[in-house]
Each structure stands twice: as C-alpha cells, then as structure tokens.
C-alpha cells in the first residue's frame, strides 16, 4: 500500500503489488463472479478475470452484437454464459456493468437474486448514487463494492 498526500488530504492507495494473482485467486477461490453486461467494462473485466483464473460467468441477453461477441470470446451458453437474471442467481459477486439506463431497467429483475451474503459491484456509481431516480437500492444484507 502507498500513502498519498493530495493537498491537505491523506489517502492510502492499494497497489497492484499488494494483490498478486495468487493472492487474488486465494481471496476469490470460492466465489463465482457474475459479470452482467458485455460492453466495454463487462468484456474487459470478465476476460481479465477469466485469464487470471477467477471463476467467472457472464450475464448477457441473447441476440445482438454483445451476445455474439460473448460466443466469439469463448463463453459457453449454459456453462459460463447465461441470461442476466440466471447469472445473478448463480453468482456470489455480482458485477453490475450494464449502462446507466440498463441498470435502471434491469434492476427489478436482478434485485431478487441479491441474497444475503452476496456482493454487488459497480464500476461506476451513477445508478446507486442517484437511487432516488433509478430505484437501485441494494438490500441491506448485500455488500456493495
């Protein structure tokens, strides 16, 4: 870890060296990461984790370019590629990487699968910060990252 001073603020930054691949595999060894959405964030993050030995599944609606790209990238329907709702049910860490509008639209279908002990991960916080407009309010017994 590295201490940073930004003006009057002091922050601790986690560096890549703090979490080498072996440590990440140990931490996530019993987890299934469900990446919902296969746009810029979803594709990059899912492939990175898969290539580094993390158990990953993808939740992407059938049809369209993104689904075809999932198939081209080696995700297998029924094994590592599912509809978003099924992926959310199977995953223990849910990476909610749909567009802002997609997160709002899909929330009612995803929320029932966010059960106690799971983690919900956002790469950007629009839908959760503006929950009064999006309705994205995680259950209290789910960790939010």
pLDDT at position 113: 98
Q: What is the mean pLDDT of residues 103-118?
A: 96
Most confident segment among 25-34, 75-84, 97-106:
75-84
* Mean pLDDT over the full length of the chain: 94
- Residue 84 — pLDDT band, cuts 50, 70, 90? very high
* Catalytic-residue membership of 113: no
Catalytic residue among 64, 115, 124, 130: 124
Residues 6+ apart with CB under 8 A from 23: none
Q: What is the CA radius of gyration of the chain?
A: 16
- Is residue 6's pLDDT more than 90? no
Quick one: CA dihedral 12, 31, 108, 112, positive or negative? Answer: negative
Q: Which residue has the higher pLDDT, 18 or 120?
A: 120
- Is residue 132's pLDDT more than 90? yes
User: Do 110 and 88 form a contact (C-beta atoms < 8 A)?
Assistant: yes
The three-point CA angle 110-132-107 to 5° equals 10
pLDDT at position 34: 98
| pTM, two decimal places | 0.89
């Amino acid at each position: 870890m590295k201490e940073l001073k930004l003006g009057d603020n002091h922050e601790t930054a986690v560096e890549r060296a703090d979490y080498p691949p072996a440590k990440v595999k140990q931490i996530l060894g019993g987890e299934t990461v469900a990446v919902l959405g296969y746009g810029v964030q979803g594709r990059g993050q899912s492939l990175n984790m898969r290539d580094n030995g993390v158990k990953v599944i993808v939740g992407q609606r059938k049809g369209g370019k993104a689904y075809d790209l999932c198939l081209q990238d080696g995700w297998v329907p029924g094994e590592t590629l599912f509809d978003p709702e099924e992926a959310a049910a199977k995953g223990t860490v849910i990476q909610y990487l749909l567009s802002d509008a997609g997160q709002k639209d899909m929330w009612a279908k995803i929320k029932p699968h966010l059960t106690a002990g799971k983690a919900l991960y956002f790469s950007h916080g629009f839908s959760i910060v503006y929950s009064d407009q999006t309705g994205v309010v995680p259950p209290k017994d789910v960790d939010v990252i």
